[in-house]
Every structure is written in C-alpha cells, then in structure tokens.
C-alpha cells in the first residue's frame, strides 16, 4: 500500500550530473564518424546514453509529479504532466522545423541535394502534405528527431503509472513488465506515417525502463534504500565485463540465428532487448553500490558545469540536436571527413574543434539559463529546514 513521503528535501545534484553526462554523450554520438564517439560508453557495452536518459527521466518524473499525486492532488499533478507534454510537443516541432531548415539551407548553399534524402528526409521532398501531417501526429520518425515523441508517449502513460503506484509499486512494475513482454513477443508498435514500419524508439517497450526509473525515484523520495545483494552485484559486474568483451571484440555473430522474439529482441534498441535492458540495469546497480555516489555527493554543487547541463535537460538537448545536425553537415560536406572514425592529424583537429565548439555552446546555454532564472526568496533556516529529511537529498529534477 501507499506510504507517505517525507518533507521536501534539497535537490540531489547527482541526478543532474548523470543526466548532463548523458546529454554530452548523445551530442557526441549524433555526429557520425567523429573520433570522440569512440570513447562514449556505447563502445564498451550493450546500452548507450539513450537508456540512461530514459531511466533517469523516470526517476525525475517520480520526484516531480508523484508526491503531489499521492497526496490527493491527482488532478493538479496530471495537469502538470499535460503541461510538460505540451512543452515537449512544441519543442519537438520547433526542433524538426529548425533541423530541416538547416538541411535545406546546406543543400542549397553547398549544391548538395542529396542532403535531403537520407534518414527519411526524402518524405518531406516527395510527399510534403503527408509529411506535414506526420510531423504533427508525431509519426514522422527520422534520425535525431525521434527521442522526444517517445518521451511524450511515456509521459502520457505517467498518470496511469502513478495511479497504480498509489496502490502498490509492485503493481505498476508488474503491469509495465507485462506490456514490455507482450510488445516484444507480438511486435506491437506505433506505426510510422508517411513511411512504413514502426517507431525506432518504440515507447511500448521503452516504458518499462522508464517505469523502473519511476519506481526507483519513488523509493528514493521516500528515503528507502535499494537492497544490496552480493550475488546480484557480482552478476551485474560480470555481465558488464562480458558485455564489454562482446562489443569490443566484435562477437555479435556468435549467437545462434533465431527469431528476435526468442531472445526477447536480444540486442535490438527499438524493443529494448533483454540484453540491453540487463546492461543498463547492471550498470546502474554497480554504480549505485560503488563509492562514486558518496564522492559525487560531497563534490558536486549547483555551479558544477555538468550539473548545469542536467538541470536544463530539454533546452540543452534541443540545442544539442541542432548542433549535431550542423556538425554532421560540416564534417562530411564541408571538411570532407569520412563517416568512419579514422585517426589522422586533420581529423583530430577538426573533430576537436567541432565537438569543443558544440559543447561550449551547450555549457554557455546552461549558464545563461541559470543566470536568467528567478532566484527564490530566502527565508530563515528554521522555516525552510525539512523535518525528518534523510541524507539522500533527493528532489524533483524535471
């Protein structure tokens, strides 16, 4: 049954820190072929920054919306969820418009009409009316612009998650797992339009990872600690090492050729295959029970540059998406660098400038947003100190 939350607690900068790292990784990975993409954690395991981003989004959603929902303000909490979805929708439309404008302008100025063809961009040229309808309905799925639609669908599921969690956390987790299982077995998806097939980030599968983060966020907000199991810890550590060897050694072809559903979609990112799911959960478990959280808690503060990125997730992600589009065009069509991360002196300098300039812009945006945000009025410590607050320091990070 539902258990009450403690009083409000200070913001936990560790959540922002890891979200900031995920945003950096997403930006670097979205410029194909750059040398620095060799060093993001996707090269050493079965999951990447997208899984971390969604897991932490679930944690943040629990911290931001569930306390109010559980305290009897379900309508107000649901209204805030709806407002967030509206913000995400506007951000997505603006990102697609700006991104397509960058591709179109580069296509004209560089006399490179081929820029409007890859990654489903050709639909806008060949079927403009259907493409505009698909953009509005979120069914126009194209590279770099397919994460926010998935996030919006998961946020739309959030009120139901909170309703089930109000009864028991095991209920919401079991329902989410059942949906993930059925989705993988029967290949359920949301269809693309005007194209064929389904969404690359299938929210019917990704919601399970989001829900796991949500449940973790509820536990953290209550001040409850994740139980430690030595057997689970060593299994998680072994799995991370084995996954690193599998990826780094290029041993993907060693598995028998069987239907993906037999492996519960295996390594497939669209369906959050069981091997990818185990990897991100193993990574989270090992990190949680390592000395790192304690070190970060003592070291991080509000002014940390990576924390700033994670504090302003949506605008930083939005700008990073457009900068990665521009960086991709500059790298391949202006500088003539290959799409493979081949080390040369020229590519090192070019990639350092591109990645460095992009990250500088993201850090500058986060600093600017901090600078213009209203500062809360200070009240006497006796009025603001939460009674019964625990040492976890968790608070909403939306």
pLDDT tens digits, residue range 13-72?
A: 999 999 999 999 999 999 999 999 999 999 999 999 999 999 999 999 999 999 999 999
Question: Looking at the domain assignment, is residue 5 inside a domain?
Answer: no
Is residue 7 in a domain?
A: no
| 391 assigned to some structural domain | no
Nearest to 44 by CA among 234, 238, 243, 233: 243
Evaluate whether residue 349 is within a structural domain. yes
pLDDT-derived band at 376, boundaries 50, 70, 90: low
Average pLDDT, the chain: 90
Question: Long-range contacts made by residues 323-327, C-beta under 8 angstroms, separation at least 24?
Answer: 323/27, 323/358, 323/361, 323/362, 324/27, 324/30, 324/31, 324/144, 324/358, 325/99, 325/102, 325/103, 325/144, 326/102, 327/31, 327/34, 327/354, 327/355, 327/358
Which whole number is the average pLDDT over 169-196?
A: 95
4 belongs to a structural domain:
no
pLDDT of residue 374: 83
Please determine, for residue 392, whether its predicted confidence score (pLDDT) is greater than 50: no
Residue 390 has pLDDT above 90, yes or no: no
Q: Per the domain annotation, does 233 fall within a domain?
A: yes
Whole-number pLDDT of residue 379:
54
**In this prediction, what percent of the chain has a pLDDT beyond 70?**
89
Q: What pLDDT was estimated at residue 338?
A: 82
Q: For residue 49, what are the contacts with CB-CB under 8 A and spacing of at least 6?
A: 21, 22, 23, 25, 26, 29, 40, 41, 42
Examine residue 392 and state whether it is found in any structural domain, yes or no: no
- Find where tokens 């090992």 sit: 286
In a domain, 2, yes or no: no
181 pLDDT tier (thresholds 50, 70, 90): very high
- Residue 9's pLDDT band (boundaries 50, 70, 90)? low
Judged by average pLDDT, the poorest of 17-21, 98-102, 118-122, 207-211 is 118-122
pLDDT given at position 131? 96
The CB density around residue 58, as the number of other CB atoms within 10 Å, is 26
CB 269 within 8 A of CB 147: no
Number of independent structural domains in the chain: 1
If one compares 344 and 241, the residue with the highest pLDDT of the two is 241
- Residue whose pair of structure tokens reads 């922002």 in the numeric block: 16
Higher pLDDT, 8 or 119: 119
State the pLDDT at residue 388: 35
Range of the domain at 210: 13-384
Identity of the highest mean pLDDT range in 209-223, 249-263, 327-341, 377-391: 209-223
């Amino acid at each position: 049954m539902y258990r009450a939350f403690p009083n409000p607690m200070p913001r936990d900068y560790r959540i922002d820190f890891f979200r900031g790292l995920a945003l950096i990784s997403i930006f670097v990975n979205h410029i194909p072929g750059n040398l620095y993409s060799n060093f993001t954690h996707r090269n050493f395991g079965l999951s990447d920054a997208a899984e971390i981003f969604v897991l932490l989004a679930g944690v943040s959603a629990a911290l931001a919306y569930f306390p109010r929902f559980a305290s009897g303000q379900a309508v107000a909490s649901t209204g805030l969820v709806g407002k967030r979805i509206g913000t995400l929708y506007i951000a997505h439309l603006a990102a697609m418009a700006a991104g397509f404008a960058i591709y179109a302008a580069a296509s004209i100025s560089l006399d490179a009409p081929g820029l409007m063809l890859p990654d489903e961009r050709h639909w806008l040229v060949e079927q403009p009316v259907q493409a505009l309808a698909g953009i509005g309905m979120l069914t126009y799925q194209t590279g770099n612009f397919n994460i926010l639609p998935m996030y919006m669908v998961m946020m739309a599921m959030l009120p139901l998650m909170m309703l089930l969690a109000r009864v028991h956390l095991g209920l919401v987790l079991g329902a989410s797992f059942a949906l993930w299982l059925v989705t993988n077995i029967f290949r359920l998806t949301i269809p693309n339009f005007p194209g064929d097939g389904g969404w690359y980030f299938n929210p019917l599968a990704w919601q399970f990872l989001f829900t796991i983060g949500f449940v973790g966020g509820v536990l953290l907000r209550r001040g409850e600690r994740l139980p430690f199991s030595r057997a689970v810890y060593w299994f998680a550590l072994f799995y991370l090492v084995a996954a690193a060897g599998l990826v780094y050694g290029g041993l993907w072809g060693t598995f028998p050729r069987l239907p993906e559903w037999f492996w519960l979609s295996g390594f497939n990112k669209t369906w959050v295959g069981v091997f990818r799911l185990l990897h991100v959960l193993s990574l989270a478990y090992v990190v949680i029970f390592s000395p790192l959280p304690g070190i970060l808690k003592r070291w991080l503060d509000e002014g940390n540059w990576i924390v700033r990125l994670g504090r302003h997730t949506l605008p930083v992600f939005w700008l990073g998406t457009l900068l990665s589009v521009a960086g991709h065009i500059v790298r391949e069509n202006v500088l003539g660098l290959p799409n493979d991360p081949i080390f040369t002196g020229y590519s090192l300098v070019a990639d350092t400038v591109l990645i460095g300039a992009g990250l500088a812009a993201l850090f500058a945006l986060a600093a600017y947003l901090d600078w213009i945000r209203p500062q809360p009025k200070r009240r006497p410590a006796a009025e603001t100190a939460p009674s019964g607050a625990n040492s976890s320091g968790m608070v909403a990070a939306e």
